[in-house]
Amino acid sequence: MFFISSAHAQSAAPAGDPGMMGSLIMFGGLFIFMYLFIIRPQRKRQKEHNDLLGSLSKGDEVTMTSGILGKITKLEGDYVVLEVNNNLELKFQISAVHAVLPKGTIKAI
C-alpha cells in the first residue's frame, strides 16, 4: 500500500511544462532582437561599402582606413594605387578604402 500512494502522488504532475514555452518565446525574442539590431544593420553597411568599392575609378580622391588621403592613379584587381604626393605612389588593398572624397578636397587641405 505504501508504494501505491506514492505512485499516485507522482502522477499528479501538470500535463504541460509552462517553463518550456517561456524558454522558446525568450529564444525567439532574442533572435529577433539580434537580427534587428545587429545582423541587419551590419549587412546594410557591408552592402554600402561593396557598392562604394565597385564604383571606384581613376582620379577619385579617397581616404583609407589608415587615414591616408590620396588620388587613385591605377586600379589593379584587388589593389589600388594612390598618389599621396607629387612623386609618391602607394599600393593598398582595395578593401582598405574608407570613403570617397569630393573632388578638390586634397588640394584644399
User: 54, 59, 66, 65: which is closest to 106 by C-alpha?
Assistant: 59
User: 40, 105, 18, 37: which is closest to 70 by C-alpha?
Assistant: 105
Gap between the terminal Cα atoms of the chain: 96
- pLDDT-based confidence at residue 33 (cuts at 50, 70, 90): very high
Residue in this structure with the C-alpha cell 588593398, named with its chain if needed = 93
Classify strands 97-101 and 69-76 as parallel, antiparallel or unpaired: unpaired
Is residue 93 over pLDDT 80? Answer: yes
| pTM (predicted TM-score) | 0.70
